Structures are given as structure tokens and as C-alpha cells.
Amino acid sequence: MLGFGWVKGLIGSVTGGARRLLGGIMPVGSSDPPAIGTEQLLDAYEEMPWLQMAARKASDGVAAALNISVLSVRRGGKTIPAKAYQFGGFQVRDVGIKEAKRAGELVSHPNHVFLAALADPNPYMTRRGLLHVTNSYLDIVGDAYWFVQRNVAGVPAGYWPIPAHWVLESPTVDRPQWRVGYRGWQVSLDEADILHFHDPGLSNPYGRGAGVGWALADDLEVDEYLAKMAKSMFFNQARPDFVVYNFGSKTEKDTAERNWLRGHQGFWKEMRPHFMGGEPKFHEFKRQTMNELMYPEFRTRQRDIVLQVYGHPPEIFGILENSNRATIEAAFYLFQVGVVAPRAERMIEPLQRHFSREFDPRGVLHYPNAVPEDKEFLLKVAQAVPQSRQMDEWRELQGLDPWADDRGRAYPVSIQHHMERDLFAVPRKPEPTPTDPKKDAQ
């Protein structure tokens, strides 16, 4: 395993009943080859506008959201395992990390070698490019692969994305190796040298992935044919607008053709009448217009199918036919909740597994919450109990700078909104008024 004997393969380490299960699924010791059409489906990203538009928007959102940090929990002077934080989903992980931070147990590692490798994965792309390509592969075909480049110590120091159709064979229980090839080049790689991102299919979850590109294949082809049909109309399909015939001789035909072109060719001669003798006949071909072919409706329908399968709100693409201000404002929230957040988790889980195997089994990978706050809801909650927020918090909601003194930490209380430095301070009881001893004697 290239310098790390303690790193175990995921497939090669399977034992017992699970090994017999996988052995029965792959009895000949080989895995599924790339599905027919994988390369063409990936090529469609560069050729079909709706697919590129939907895939690019989702991948850009994921790349922007995955600002990954390496964290650990240190308690009693020792770094403790945090499995629940590592693999518990974003909400569980976020709550646990916030609790550890409040308890002073959270440690950040901003200079970790993994972050350095992710920031500069290879000479051809940046972190954003790597994450963008990876998410696009996952969305379209359901599989994405990184070749793990290692330094002299065997530690991962870079990552190279590999298209799905280059991976000819996946590891099996009897042969825990990858076989990768492109054109005339082929190589076998150890299981730990490839990081696999997988969106499993239902018919065979142990085989190749199932991206939305497979479900959209026919619709994408229909849209492409519609575009080619429109293009062919500009080349007139090798048919003239009309045919003039029934001339007595070739000379008469040539003379009429020459006179016609001389009198009508060029935009400056448009709409000029033409007079000629005899009774020539002509026939005009009737062409169907774009509206008669329902071309705009077809392309709009294909566009909507692609966006709906991806889960994109149409408003983020400027499609506002059935929108209002409320739906436009909600579109970006829905985009982050329904498109970016699940895809970000789909990528962080394999990265966490890779980090635990290669770097530190106790480390936690985390990223900031990409879902924007519901400002209207937060405002209503704050208005219900205004004194629950400090003045600096209210000023932040108004877009104002905080006060540079203790006034910003005061709470507005009661109708008069007077300032209290401690909202929970118990007021002291007034001291009893001293009495006059002479009056008491009387």
C-alpha cells in the first residue's frame, strides 16, 4: 500500500459472510465494466446546454459550500475518537462541534497536509475545479474517482480526477486492485490509490453508479435533435423557395434566371415587383414554421424536465414565467437545502472515510452550513421577545456596525427600552428606613 502497511483496503479486508456474498455476486473475480454510453453521456455535458446548465449550477454550489476544516476533540489532554461527529450527518456533526467548542475541547488544524493537498490537488486544477468535476461526474453517471498521489513518505499529497469510463475494473474480494486505461495505456493500481465516490443504483448497488444523466438520456437527445432541426432550417435543407419551369429553351431559361437575379438579388431590392412576358409557371414549397412545429414548447418542456430531475428551482436561472417576489426569494433557500446540501454530504462522507484511513482516525472533516438563515423567521422570533437580544445583535439585523463600548451588550427592556447590563440580575431589596428612637419611646 505504498508505504503504509497499516492501511487496509475496503474490499480486500471483507471477511466471513460478507466475503461469500461478494464472491457470489462477482463469481469470476471481475467487476462490472463501464456502462455502454458512459463516455457519450459525459461528452453531452459539453454539447447539450440544459445538461451543462443544471450540472454546472449544482457543482458550483457544492464547490462553494465545501470549505472543509480539519477538527478534533481534545479532552483531558488527549484527542478522543469522535465517530458520531465523523459519520453522523451534517446536523449531528454541527451540533457536536458547537458543543465541543463551547466546552473548550475543539481543536482546529488549519495547516493539515490533507487541506494542503486539497487546495492544490494537481497542476491542472484548483480545489474548486476538482470538486466541480467530481460532483458533475457523480450527478451525470453516478461515479467519480480520484487517483491519490503520494509523497516519498507515502502520505497523500495530491488528487487527480479520473473519468468513469477510464476505470475498466473495480476491486473484488479476490483481486483488490483497480484497472485503469485510456486509449492504449493501461495500469493496475492498489485499492488505496483510488478514492471512489459512488451513488449506488438500485438494481445492483455493488456495481456501477446511477446518476441522473442515465434517466435524462432520452430527453437530452430529443432536445439535441430539436436544436439540430433548427440549425438545418438555416441551411434550407437543400431546397429552394420556389421553382420556375416550362420555358421553351435553355437560352430563354438562362435569360429569365439572369434577369430575375439582377432585379431581385440583394436586400436593397427587396419587395420590388418583377414583370415578364408570356405565361411562366412557378411552384412554391410550403415550409412549416417553428411555431407550427411546436418548437418553442418542445424545448421549454425539455428544459423543465432537466431542471426538475436535478431539483433546481427555475428562478435561480432567471425563469420567472410563474414566479413572484416570494418564490424568487425562496428559490435560493430551496436551492441550498434541496440541491447543494445533500450533494455536499454525498461528497464529505467518502472524504471522511479516506481521511480516517490515511491520516487520523480521530479527525473530523466539517464545513460551514451552506443553507442561508430564514431572516423573516428569525425576525419574528426576536420580535416576540425583544429583550432576549443584545443591542449589538439588533444593530447587526439592521445592517449597522456594533457599538464600541458596553452599550452593545445591554438588553432593551420594557416599553421604555431602558438598558440593563445584566438581564438576569436580581434587584436588591431596599434597606429599611431607620426609625427615630425618641418617637419609639413616645
Mean pLDDT on 174-196: 89
> Of 148 and 184, which is predicted with more confidence?
148
71 — alpha (psi -120 to 50), left (phi > 0) or beta? beta
Residue 232 — pLDDT band, cuts 50, 70, 90? low
In this predicted structure, the answer to whether residue 254 has a pLDDT above a threshold of 80 is yes
pLDDT of residue 386: 74
Across 20-56, b (16+ Cβ under 10 Å) vs e yields eebeeebeeeebeebbeebeebbebbeebebbebbbe
Percentage of residues of the chain with pLDDT beyond 90: 29
- Residue 373 CB coordination number (10 Å): 9
CA 336 from centre of chain:
9
> Of 190 and 442, which is predicted with more confidence?
190
In this predicted structure, the answer to whether residue 258 has a pLDDT above a threshold of 90 is no
Measure Cα distances from 18 to 21, 176, 194, 231 in Å. Answer: 5, 15, 22, 55
Mean pLDDT on 23-32: 63
pLDDT of residue 7: 45
Beta bridge partners of 200: 209
In this predicted structure, the answer to whether residue 264 has a pLDDT above a threshold of 50 is yes
Which residues are CB-neighbours of 84 under 8 A, at least 6 positions away?
92, 96
Mean pLDDT on 276-300: 62
pLDDT of residue 216: 84
In this predicted structure, the answer to whether residue 86 has a pLDDT above a threshold of 60 is yes
Take residue 345 and report the three cell numbers written for it: 454530504
pLDDT in tens, 321-334: 878 888 888 888 89
Residue 312 CA to residue 315 CA, distance in Å, equals 8
Helix (H) or strand (E) holding 234: helix 217-234
- Sign of the Cα torsion 351, 141, 63, 194 reads positive
pLDDT in tens, 88-103: 888 889 888 988 888 8
Residue 355 CA to residue 364 CA, distance in Å, equals 8
pLDDT of residue 141: 93
- Residue 221 CB coordination number (10 Å): 14
Take residue 13 and report the three cell numbers written for it: 479486508
Residue 357 CA to residue 346 CA, distance in Å, equals 18
pLDDT of residue 138: 95
DSSP label at 373? P
Mean pLDDT on 28-40: 75
pLDDT of residue 339: 93
- Terminus-to-terminus CA distance in the chain, angstroms? 103
Residue 81 — pLDDT band, cuts 50, 70, 90? confident
Residue 362 CA to residue 105 CA, distance in Å, equals 14
Residue 412's φ and ψ, nearest 5 degrees, are -75, 125
Mean pLDDT on 345-370: 92
70: three-class secondary structure by DSSP: strand
pLDDT of residue 2: 37
Residue 163 CA to residue 148 CA, distance in Å, equals 14
What is the overall mean pLDDT for the chain? 81
pLDDT of residue 27: 55
- Please report the DSSP string for 87-146 in residue order: HSHHHHHHHHHHHHHHTT-EEE-TT-HHHHHHHS-BTTB-HHHHHHHHHHHHHHHSEEEE
Q: Is the pTM of the predicted complex or chain greater than 0.75?
A: no
Across 80-108, b (16+ Cβ under 10 Å) vs e yields eebeebbeeebeebbebbeebeeeebbee
pLDDT of residue 272: 73
Measure Cα distances from 217 to 56, 221, 307 in Å. Answer: 17, 6, 14
> Of 280 and 335, which is predicted with more confidence?
335
CB 50 within 8 Å of CB 221: no
Listed residue (161, 169, 158) closest to 191, CA to CA: 169
Measure Cα distances from 397 to 35, 100, 373, 390, 417 in Å. Answer: 53, 27, 12, 11, 17
